[in-house]
Amino acid sequence: MTVLVLLDHADGQISPASRSAVTAAVQLGPVHALVAGAGPALDAAVQAAARIAGIEAVLRAEAAVHAAPLAEPLAALLASLAGEYDHLLAGATATAKNVMPRLAALLDVQPISEIVAVVDAETFVRPIYAGNALATVRSSDAKRVITVRAANFDPAADVATAAAIRDVATPDVAPLSRFVSAELSRSERPELASARVVVSGGRGMQNGENFRLLDPIADQLGAAIGASRAAVDAGYVPNDYQVGQTGKIVAPDLYVAVGISGAIQHLAGMKDSKIIVAINKDAEAPIFQVADYGLVADLFSALPELERELKTG
C-alpha cells in the first residue's frame, strides 16, 4: 500500500533529510508526499517535491497555520490523511521529531524513531543507547509512523517528469501554539547534516576565536564546520554546531576531527562517516581508534600546514 512522506522545506527547497526519507519510503511501496505551508515559498517547494525521484503524487496543504511548522496542526493534518496509508514517514528533522510522535498518539500507534534500515514492511532497524546497539523491531500496529535517520539513506535525486499535484484541506484545530520568532545561524557553508565534508573542532581548540583556524580549511574542502559537545559546552561555538548523540548525526565522505578526544557520545554522531581523519596531540585519544588516518600533532601547527598543503593541490 501507498506510503505518505512528510517533506520539510525552507526557502522553496526540500530538505536533504526529507529526500533520504523518500529513499527509505520507496522500499515500502508507492510514495505520496505531503508539503504543508503558506505563501509563495510553498509553491516552489511543491514544484521541487514533484520532481523528486520516486514520488508519485504531491499533496499540497496550504493554510496560514502552516506558515511555521507547528506540531498541533501538522499532526492533525497527517492524521486526517492517514486512512489511505499504511506507512507515514519523515526524515528525522527537528520538525519531524516534534510532529510524528504526536501523530502516532492520535492514531494509537507506537512510533519507530530514526530507523537506519528497512527489513520489510513491518520490520526496521534502529539505533538505541546512542548507537552503541542496534535493535531490529517488528511493529504489530496497523499503521506505522516512522522517522528516518538521513545519514543511512542517500537523498532521492531529481527526475525530469513532474508528479501530479493535488490540494488537501487542513482540519480545523483550536490554535494551541503560535510561532514567535526564529534565530537561525546564517552560513554560506553547506548544512552540517548533509555536507559531503565536515571539519569539526573540540576542546583542543581552546577558545571560540581559534575555531576560525578551521575556516580556510573548510573553504578549500567545501566543508561544513562542526564541534564536539565539549567545545559547545565550553561556549566556543553555538549548539547547532554539535555533532554527537545529543547533537547532529552526520555521515559525510570525509570527517576531519581536530582537537577532539573522541568521547562515546561524539563517536555516536560521526562514526558512520566514510573516511575519518583525526588530528590530536594526545596519541592515546580514543578518536584514533576509529580514525582511518591519524596525525599525532599540535593542531596549532598542523592546521596552517594543512591549509598550505591543500592549496598546492
* Stretch binding other proteins (CB under 8 A), from 30-38, 55-63, 161-169, 293-301: 293-301
Question: CA 184, 189, 193: angle at the middle one, nearest 5?
Answer: 70
- Grid coordinates of 210: 581559534
Q: Give the footprint of other proteins on residues 182-211 (CB under 8 A).
A: 182-185, 191, 193, 197
- Residue 307 C-alpha from the chain's centroid: 29
Does the protein bind other proteins through residue 13 (CB under 8 A)? no
Query: Using CA atoms, how far apart are residues 72 and 177, in angstroms rounded to an integer?
Result: 8
Look at residue 254 and give its three-state secondary structure: strand
Q: What are phi and psi of 138, to 5 degrees?
A: -115, 130
Judged by CB under 8 A, which of 34, 52, 55, 109 binds other proteins?
Answer: 109
Question: CA 247, 248, 251: angle at the middle one, nearest 5?
Answer: 145
Look at residue 225 and give its three-state secondary structure: strand
Does the protein bind other proteins through residue 306 (CB under 8 A)? yes
Does the protein bind other proteins through residue 110 (CB under 8 A)? yes
- Smallest separation, CB 160 to other proteins (Å): 30
* CB closer to other proteins, 53 vs 117: 117
Judged by CB under 8 A, which of 131, 201, 204, 226 binds other proteins?
Answer: 131
Does the protein bind other proteins through residue 117 (CB under 8 A)? no
Query: Using CA atoms, how far apart are residues 265 and 280, in angstroms rounded to an integer?
Result: 18
Does the protein bind other proteins through residue 212 (CB under 8 A)? no
Residues 6+ apart with CB under 8 A from 207: 236
* CB closer to other proteins, 6 vs 277: 277
- Smallest separation, CB 202 to other proteins (Å): 17
- Smallest separation, CB 227 to other proteins (Å): 14
Query: Using CA atoms, how far apart are residues 227 and 266, in angstroms rounded to an integer?
Result: 9
Judged by CB under 8 A, which of 23, 93, 152, 200 binds other proteins?
Answer: 93
Query: Using CA atoms, how far apart are residues 112 and 277, in angstroms rounded to an integer?
Result: 33
Query: Using CA atoms, how far apart are residues 143 and 104, in angstroms rounded to an integer?
Result: 9
Q: Give the footprint of other proteins on residues 226-285 (CB under 8 A).
A: 238-240, 245-246, 248, 253-254, 264-265, 271, 274-277
* Stretch binding other proteins (CB under 8 A), from 34-42, 69-77, 163-171, 199-207: 69-77
* CB closer to other proteins, 11 vs 167: 11
Does the protein bind other proteins through residue 77 (CB under 8 A)? no
In this structure, are residues 284 and 262 in contact, taking their beta carbons and an 8 Å threshold? no
- Smallest separation, CB 169 to other proteins (Å): 20
Look at residue 167 and give its three-state secondary structure: strand
* CB closer to other proteins, 56 vs 307: 307
- Grid coordinates of 21: 526519507
Judged by CB under 8 A, which of 53, 57, 63, 68 binds other proteins?
Answer: 68
Bridge partners (DSSP) of residue 199 are 225, 256
- Residue 38 C-alpha from the chain's centroid: 23
Judged by CB under 8 A, which of 54, 73, 127, 226 binds other proteins?
Answer: 127
Judged by CB under 8 A, which of 1, 64, 128, 164 binds other proteins?
Answer: 128
Does the protein bind other proteins through residue 115 (CB under 8 A)? no
- Smallest separation, CB 80 to other proteins (Å): 14
